[in-house]
Amino acid sequence: MKVAMVNDCAFVGETILKYLPNDVEKTHLKRSRGLWSKTFGVTYKIWKAKADVYHVHYLLQDCYLASILNKRPLIGHAHGSDLTTTLNRFMLGRIVRSNLKKCDTILVSTPDLVEIARQYREDVVYLPNPVDIELFYPKPSTPSKGKLKVLIASGSNWTVKGTDIAIKALAKLKEKIEVSIIAYGEDLQKTLALAESLGLEIYVLPKLPHESLNNYYWSADLVVDQFKSGVFGLTSLEAIACGRPTLTYISSRYGAYDGFPLKDTNTAEKIVEATENILPKLWKAEHNYLKQNHDPTKIANTVVQIYKNLT
């Protein structure tokens, strides 16, 4: 079987390809955000590709191009903003709706996207994001008698990530913690200014390539992610895989997350309570959930079965 993976999101496609069985022939058609690459460049790559199944990330132009070039069977893999934001725009929304209807299968990476996609078709498949356990794996933390080392690992974005909520919570614990933040995200300067106004000292870390982020996770005692969406991002999953307890907002309304030990942590007060009371026993339960639901080999095998059903 030959598989053409088109584009990617948060290295999900790359991880799936890595863990597919050896008897699957794999091609990854990558593109950048440059004008040529995301237009004529990717069009040529898709047109030239010959495969038994085409798996496209994001329900945007790449998926639309594969459809009009009659690349079949075609899998559209939605990852978030394509359904939560772009779907509601005038021109780009038409492309997303067309892809929802014309793909042979629609995969979604988080359970909140299922109800959106099912407005257009019933056969939507929730596929949890895999974590590359060869890159992200547990290491023991360095014993410290000093302050708890906290890493804010997701991009600074108050609207999408709720980074301001995290800062307000951590400021209440500033005598007990040492906080670092990775330098990316549109609201980074606002975040640093808010921390300064609350008397919270933050160490700013340079952004690293994806394959090196494990070093930041291993250096922390606690990782902080997002407090807005109610669903898992790769940041939380990778931090848990690295052996670190992680605070993030997981909504109890989604049955897919029934086994996760910490739900509805979406206010500064709840973040403080979790940090002070449950960290010693949190990681093991989080990691058990991760192994059950985000193991890359299990997910790759699920994807292979989807491919076989289509071909």
Give the pLDDT band (50/70/90) at residue 84: very high
126 and 87 inside one domain: yes
9 and 25 inside one domain: yes
Report the alpha-carbon distance of residue 243 to residue 297 in Å, rounded. 19
- pTM, 2 dp: 0.94
301 and 249 inside one domain: no
pLDDT in tens, 236-294: 999 999 999 999 999 999 999 999 999 999 999 999 999 998 777 899 999 999 999 99
154 and 126 inside one domain: no
In a domain? residue 214: yes
The yes-or-no verdict on residue 131 having pLDDT over 90 is yes
- Residue 78 sits in a domain of what CATH number? 3.40.50.2000
The yes-or-no verdict on residue 145 having pLDDT over 80 is no
Give the pLDDT band (50/70/90) at residue 41: confident
26 and 113 inside one domain: yes
Give the pLDDT band (50/70/90) at residue 40: confident
Looking at the chain, the whole-number percentage of residues with pLDDT higher than 90 is 92
- The average pLDDT across 110-119 equals 96
pLDDT in tens, 6-33: 999 999 999 999 999 999 999 999 988 7
Domain that holds residue 235: 148-293
In a domain? residue 28: yes
- The average pLDDT across 119-147 equals 92
In a domain? residue 91: yes
185 and 271 inside one domain: yes
The yes-or-no verdict on residue 190 having pLDDT over 90 is yes
The yes-or-no verdict on residue 35 having pLDDT over 80 is no
- The average pLDDT across 187-203 equals 98
153 and 280 inside one domain: yes
What's the chain's average pLDDT? 95
55 and 96 inside one domain: yes
116 and 155 inside one domain: no
What's residue 143's pLDDT? 66
In a domain? residue 142: no
What's residue 139's pLDDT? 94
289 and 299 inside one domain: no
In a domain? residue 138: no
In a domain? residue 120: yes
110 and 154 inside one domain: no
Report the alpha-carbon distance of residue 214 to residue 99 in Å, rounded. 35
CB < 8 Å & 24+ apart, contacts of 229-235: 229/80, 229/110, 229/112, 229/160, 230/112, 230/254, 230/266, 231/110, 231/111, 231/112, 231/257, 232/110, 232/128, 232/129, 232/257, 233/10, 233/154, 234/10, 234/11, 234/12, 234/129, 234/131, 235/153, 235/154
286 and 245 inside one domain: yes
In a domain? residue 111: yes
pLDDT in tens, 63-73: 999 999 999 99
**Single-letter amino acid, residue 113:** L
Number of domains in the chain: 2
